[in-house]
Amino acid sequence: MHFEIVKKAKTNYDWRVILVEEGEFAAPSSLSEDVGALFTKLAAKENFSGKPGQCLRGETWDGKTLVRIVLAGYGKKTELTREKRGAALCKALKPLHGAVLLESAEKSFLDPDALGALAEHLNYRFEKYKTAKKDKEKKEALNLEIVDPKGAGKTPEGSKLGVISNIVRDLVNEPANNMTPAILAEEAEKLSKTYGFSCRVYNEKEIAKFGMTAFLAVGSASAHPPRLIVLRYTGNKKEKTAVGLVGKGLCYDAGGLSIKPTASMLTMKSDMTGAATVIGVLCALAENKVPKNAVAVIAACENVIDGAGYKPGDIVTAMNGKTIEITNTDAEGRVTLADALTYIRHKENVSEIIDVATLTGAIMVALGEHITGVFTNTKENFDKLAKAGEKWGERFWNMPMDAEFAEMVKSHIADLKNSAGRWGGASSAAKFLEEFVDGKPWMHLDIAGTSFSEEGTSYYPKGATGETVKTLYSYIKDFA
């Protein structure tokens, strides 16, 4: 489906879809008086009141052309969510094809960013591994239009961010055999050229020179060597600092010697979603020429099994000199992030740090699949992030960072241990990371629940969601 803002309505649409607020039906002024009156009567007759998902189709002759109309219930405008918008529009559009004009008496229903993002969201398929004829090609074209003389001809930010969220979903959905650290680095490089930002990739030897021993320990069992990926977008040359982004880049997480059960391993190609997300955020900033600076660091590796791998009981020294007792090789994300956080602090001039990570199963237990857990030492930044998320229907929750959680990751033999047991597992993981930010303003987004849908939800099909890309973009653009 294609979405466009036009200056003036065409004289001939295959369908006109009217998005209706719940309550007494009022025909939009864009309909002729006769047609408006007719549909007002029809709505009354059919008890159409605009409840979410309610749909009413009808056609009439207006003297010149055949007018085919769908009334689509959107519910109360104060209760509208991204999910409701998606469900209502999907239902209304399902049997249609051709040129469709969207209209509404309620202006907020026609928000071009929400519609643009939704259209791209609904367009997404991951079918490259299906050898039969692709669904996409079979579908008949649907061209959605809204009328807005001011926005006409421009591609709304929502559409652009939707396209980029879908690129992120592609990176995540790609199975791990075709998304090794080296391939992820190549993909980042390609995107950096397409969108216009810089990309520098470091190999194993160079990573060792940086002293990123903790990061290397996690990747040491893999036949696919690690890569350190550093991306830089400069939208404001006068400003010397940048927003620092760190993405967890586990191209596969089998758990290592503390091996995962088979079922839990099945989706662990998605353990690089944080990395894909920060790549997407840089694409978005560059595409929209946002006058801000951002740098992203990704420690990409695989956590698998081999004689050369790290073991429970090992002690590794992180780049900042702190020692970590490995009590569980499956708590690997924080070990790689320890060095990625130190790297960005030591080697880059960052004003604040945001890390994005599929870090713990515990955050899924706490918040489920629809809300991202945020841990921060700067509460104001959380408020801004949540505000930025409202525009895109992405939800965030500020999680506790009390001192007791830091006690849980202290080791009797080293400075820290990487795993602290089950209770409050998302918070103890966050406190572990805090040991590596040295007081800089910092937010940690645990996206384990929101990044990937195992079963599919009403809004997301099975697989990668691309969630948080749009919010992080808006946060940097509007608040950083």
* Stretch of 248-256, 279-287, 402-410, 437-445 contacting Mg ion, by CB under 5 A: 248-256
**Binding residues for Zn ion restricted to 264-303, rule: CB under 5 A:** 271
Residue nearest to Mg ion (CB): 330
Nearer to ligand BES, 244 or 333 (CB): 333
Distance, in Å, from the CA atom of 311 to the CA atom of 307, rounded to the nearest integer, reads: 9
Among 16, 85, 269, 334, the one annotated catalytic: 334
Cα dihedral sign, 289-293-295-296:
negative
Residue nearest to ligand BES (CB): 361
393 binds Zn ion (CB under 5 A): no
- 399: partner contacted, choices Zn ion, Mg ion, ligand BES, none (Cβ within 5-8 A by kind): none
Nearer to Mg ion, 253 or 355 (CB): 253
Annotation marks residue 334 as catalytic: yes
Of the CA atoms within 13 Å of residue 306, those in its CB half-sphere come to 13
**Binding residues for ligand BES restricted to 422-451, rule: CB under 6 A:** 425, 448
* Stretch of 87-95, 116-124, 253-261, 292-300 contacting Mg ion, by CB under 5 A: 253-261
Nearer to Mg ion, 170 or 332 (CB): 332
Distance, in Å, from the CA atom of 124 to the CA atom of 461, rounded to the nearest integer, reads: 9
Strands 452-453 and 463-464 come out as: antiparallel
User: From the list 21, 253, 352, 435, which residue makes contact with Mg ion (rule: CB under 5 A)?
Assistant: 253
What does residue 109 show for φ and ψ, rounded to 5 degrees?
-70, -20
- 49: partner contacted, choices ligand BES, Mg ion, Zn ion, none (Cβ within 5-8 A by kind): none
For the bound state, the minimum distance from the C-beta of residue 454 to Mg ion, rounded and expressed in Å, comes to 16
**Contact code string over 102-121 relative to ligand BES, x by CB under 6 A:** --------------------
Nearer to Zn ion, 419 or 468 (CB): 419
**Binding residues for ligand BES restricted to 326-345, rule: CB under 6 A:** 328, 330-333
Distance, in Å, from the CA atom of 145 to the CA atom of 339, rounded to the nearest integer, reads: 48
User: From the list 4, 253, 355, 467, which residue makes contact with Zn ion (rule: CB under 5 A)?
Assistant: 253
358 binds ligand BES (CB under 6 A): yes
Residue positions counted in the chain: 480
* Stretch of 86-94, 134-142, 285-293, 352-360 contacting ligand BES, by CB under 6 A: 352-360
Nearer to ligand BES, 358 or 372 (CB): 358
* Stretch of 8-16, 67-75, 313-321, 357-365 contacting ligand BES, by CB under 6 A: 357-365
Distance, in Å, from the CA atom of 334 to the CA atom of 438, rounded to the nearest integer, reads: 15
Annotation marks residue 260 as catalytic: yes
Nearer to Mg ion, 330 or 467 (CB): 330
Distance, in Å, from the CA atom of 361 to the CA atom of 419, rounded to the nearest integer, reads: 13
**Binding residues for ligand BES restricted to 217-256, rule: CB under 6 A:** 253
**Contact code string over 258-297 relative to ligand BES, x by CB under 6 A:** -------------x--------------------------
**Binding residues for ligand BES restricted to 373-432, rule: CB under 6 A:** 419, 425
Nearer to Mg ion, 117 or 445 (CB): 445
Give the dihedral of Cα atoms 201, 203, 209, 213; nearest 10 deg.
110
Check if the beta carbon of residue 273 is closer than 8 Å to that of residue 469: no
Nearer to Zn ion, 58 or 312 (CB): 312
Distance, in Å, from the CA atom of 272 to the CA atom of 282, rounded to the nearest integer, reads: 16
Give the dihedral of Cα atoms 274, 280, 282, 285; nearest 10 deg.
-130
360 binds ligand BES (CB under 6 A): yes
Check if the beta carbon of residue 409 is closer than 8 Å to that of residue 328: no
**Contact code string over 321-360 relative to Mg ion, x by CB under 5 A:** ---------x-x----------------------------
Nearer to ligand BES, 96 or 251 (CB): 251
Among 77, 82, 260, 477, the one annotated catalytic: 260
User: From the list 274, 309, 333, 466, which residue makes contact with Zn ion (rule: CB under 5 A)?
Assistant: 333
Note the residues at the interface with Mg ion (CB under 5 A).
253, 330, 332
Note the residues at the interface with Zn ion (CB under 5 A).
250, 253, 271, 333
The catalytic residue positions are: 260, 334
Note the residues at the interface with ligand BES (CB under 6 A).
253, 271, 328, 330-333, 358-362, 419, 425, 448
